[in-house]
Structure 1
Amino acid sequence: MTSGARAEIVVDLAAIRHNVRRLREIVGSAVSTGSTTEDGSTTKMMTVVKADGYGHGVHEVARAAREAGADWLGVATIDEAVAVRDGGDSGPVLCWLTVPGEDWDAAITRGIDVSAYSLAELAEIETAARHLATTARVQLKIDTGLSRGGCLPQDWPALTAEARAAESRGHVRITGLWSHLACSDEPEHHANDAQERVFREALDVAERAGLRPEVRHLANSAAAVLRPSAHFDLVRCGIASYGLDPAPGVTRDLGLVPAMTVRARFSMVKRVTAGSSVSYGHTWTASADTTMGLVPIGYAEGLPRLASNKIDAWYDDHRRPVRGIICMDQFMVDLGDDHAEPGDRVEVFGTGHDGAPTAQDWAEAAGTINYEIVTRLGGRLRRIHVDSEGSGA
């Protein structure tokens, strides 16, 4: 561990690069079996780096993804997009979550692609671009059945017609048409076919309106690996870029490597006697004398309290069960009769080496998804970046 660290998140940038390359291989293999774009070109890769790179560090992840061949970066908000651009990235960046009155100027002047879901949003973007005497890069999103963000199908003809009119006025360029799948991690779900059908119909409407976008995209990580028909010109890979399975229990071994490891040092090691109960509520009681290690992180750092008594940590090449309730600042692990010392390193989760716990294990213990486990981490954890390929950090 880093000298003096109590607890830390370690992100291996080599794993990020590996995962982006691997996803490009998977998508490329799908292209070779019939998922080519209309002009026969290779499907492009977007690495999604929203939410501070899913908790991995947006600037470091963005650089690693570009080094591995990511054509686009994706974020949610304009603030995130500006941070990526001002951090030195000069390639295509898309953002997609805004509210009325956003600072459109910040995105437009930096050449960031923004998304429009409605006529009102498109009008705001065009007004900002007109005042700047420039052309805004805009992508239109259609709601194909997620019933979240995006233009409803009945409003799509009007939005695409107005978008073409805005193009003719010179202050807007429609660079993309896109949507988002609701059930791509369930490949047999009927919603996948339905959404893809609506998306293809929407593309036809846009083409008849005269729009000629650079990219059309529908697939997220799960669809990128499971649904070649949804690849179109670009796939958006978020969680898979960080080495986590986008469809646990469905996908084959994808060859991805988790990039994040969370580790700490024992604050205290103590022997407890049979009959001793541990942590708030006394939800676990020792059936025999045992040694307990105190790990100095808890739900303030983002660990899910719901995983209490259901998950393991890793110490001395073995899984060690978490005993009792996970507290705000700390939790206890059962070491049995093994010897340990305060200051010894314990791995909370990581790559799964040798059977060690993973973010997916924590997700299952807490009844959630691996996205939430890695993205919510922070608090008092120190985050460091390493590079197991030896090319710097």
Structure 2
Amino acid sequence: MRATRAIIHLERLKANLAEIRKKIGPKTAICIPVKADAYGHGAVRIGIAAIKAGAKFLAVASVQEGIELREAGIVAPILLFSLPIPEELEDVVRYHITPLVPDTEFAHLVGKTAERLGEILPVHIKIDTGMGRIGCRPENILDLVEVITSYPSLHWEGTATHLSVADSLDTDDRAYTQKQLQRFSDAVDALCQHGYKPGILHAANSGAVVLHENSYFDMVRPGLLAYGYPPIPELAKTVPVQPVMELQTHVVFMKKVYPGEAISYGRKWQASQETVIGTLPIGYADGLPRRLSGKLSLSIGGRRYPLVGRICMDQCMIDLGMDSPVRRWEPVTVFGGTEADPTAAELSELLGTIPYEITCGINKRVPRVYVE
């Protein structure tokens, strides 16, 4: 096993889903997004663990991601969040992947494909209530429904929207989210008034789970929360969760350096006093962003040690000082260990991004180790 590894704590995933369940109540279904290889955690293992923990749906962003789950033996419903091109539709039907349908043109394409293959494909209508990405306008929903229901090859299973600022405490953003939810409810009411049954209603992402209880409907789609990061740090205690991924490496080399000696490319860091430098076999090719050079401290035995010099492609260095108890070969936590250790949220804050970008960026060459 390589010194640098991503430890995936499946027991934490189970605990996170239990906390989400406490928040949303017993009747609301849970859909777990496992797109982007479950945000770097491993889609198949996370998908199986999530289903065992009570999730009813999984969700992906590409047809190939859905196929991977099916070929691994997963039979649970799989939602396809992003739109496939026409050439992919046969695989959508053959592998029973449930697409979001945003317009009549796509509805015709999907319906004809399923009809030709002799299949009945479940679909969910996507309504754009203010995200501005994909989806039909609320005022066009009846036209879309008429097309979908004209195809015996399509089973209208659900109706969805997506909230763009549900993770914000800003007064205007909270009002905007409520406006989106009202648009969604109005569209659903219009469907019901025309005698249609809109199926499973879902809108809530992680932010909405925490902040907007009227967004739960029949199903929620928490991503960030499930993987262990509060979408609204100020409300972290509302749904207490733990990071599922722990990125770990080891000290593989130690050497004493003297005042004025430089470390790593560019000689950007020089020792101001005698110290001990530890070398770690992890770099930006593994997913430790080069922009964190000189900004981050890593954890060994619960104590933090600063990264020094530029992060290299495959290695980086930390300043252990002269009095450190650290010994060669000891494990180092980059993020996601105990409460004393850095988190992906800490790394993302240093970079001005979000925790997803950190976990998604952990390269495939870093082995995943699953802990039940």
TM-score band by shorter chain is over 0.9
With 188-197 and 55-64 compared, the bigger mean Cα shift is at 188-197
Note if contact 1:108-1:137 (Cα within 8 Å) is conserved in structure 2: no
Instruction: Work out the CA distance in 2 between the residues paired with 1:191 and 1:123.
Output: 32
Aligned to 1:127, the other structure's residue is in SS state helix
Q: 2:5 matched to which residue of 1? A: 8
- Pairing 1:186–2:172 present: no
- Deviation at 1:209? 4.6
Note if contact 2:308-2:318 (Cα within 8 Å) is conserved in structure 1: yes
Aligned AA (1:220): N
In structure 2, the CA distance between the partners of 1:376 and 1:209, relative to structure 1 (3 Å rule), is farther
Q: 1:390 matched to which residue of 2? A: none
Map residues 59-98 of structure 1 onto 2, 5 A cutoff.
Answer: 59-98=44-83
Map residues 104-183 of structure 1 onto 2, 5 A cutoff.
Answer: 104-166=89-151, 170-183=152-165
In structure 2, the CA distance between the partners of 1:162 and 1:289, relative to structure 1 (3 Å rule), is same
- Deviation at 1:115? 1.2
In the alignment, structure 1 segments of 5+ residues that lack a partner are: 32-41, 388-393
TM-score by length of 1: 0.88
Aligned to 1:115, the other structure's residue is in SS state strand
- Deviation at 1:308? 1.8
- Deviation at 1:116? 1.0
In structure 2, the CA distance between the partners of 1:162 and 1:207, relative to structure 1 (3 Å rule), is farther
Per-residue deviation, residues 197-234 of structure 1 (Å, max 9, x unmatched): 22112212333454313301100011112210111110
- Which of 331, 335, 343 is the aligned partner of 1:345? 331
> Percent identity over the alignment?
33
Per-residue deviation, residues 355-391 of structure 1 (Å, max 9, x unmatched): 111111111111111111111111421111111xxxx
- Pairing 1:211–2:196 present: yes
Per-residue deviation, residues 228-247 of structure 1 (Å, max 9, x unmatched): 01111100011211112222
**Number of residue-to-residue matches in the alignment:** 368
Aligned AA (1:14): E
Per-residue deviation, residues 283-319 of structure 1 (Å, max 9, x unmatched): 3332221111111111111112222211111113301
Note if contact 1:100-1:121 (Cα within 8 Å) is conserved in structure 2: no
Instruction: Work out the CA distance in 2 between the residues paired with 1:206 and 1:234.
Output: 19
Note if contact 2:260-2:271 (Cα within 8 Å) is conserved in structure 1: yes
- Pairing 1:17–2:14 present: yes
- Deviation at 1:143? 1.2
Note if contact 1:164-1:211 (Cα within 8 Å) is conserved in structure 2: no
Q: 1:229 matched to which residue of 2? A: 214
Q: 2:268 matched to which residue of 1? A: 283
Instruction: Work out the CA distance in 2 between the residues paired with 1:95 and 1:47.
Output: 12
Note if contact 1:352-1:358 (Cα within 8 Å) is conserved in structure 2: no
Instruction: Work out the CA distance in 1 between the residues paired with 2:194 and 2:150.
Output: 9
- Pairing 1:241–2:226 present: yes
Q: 2:281 matched to which residue of 1? A: 296
Aligned AA (2:352): G
Note if contact 2:111-2:148 (Cα within 8 Å) is conserved in structure 1: no
Q: 1:26 matched to which residue of 2? A: 23
Instruction: Work out the CA distance in 2 between the residues paired with 1:149 and 1:287.
Output: 55
Aligned to 2:110, the other structure's residue is in SS state helix
- Deviation at 1:336? 0.8
In the alignment, structure 2 segments of 5+ residues that lack a partner are: none
- Deviation at 1:142? 1.2
TM-score by length of 2: 0.93
Note if contact 1:308-1:322 (Cα within 8 Å) is conserved in structure 2: yes
In structure 2, the CA distance between the partners of 1:325 and 1:152, relative to structure 1 (3 Å rule), is farther
RMSD over equivalenced CA pairs, Å: 1.8
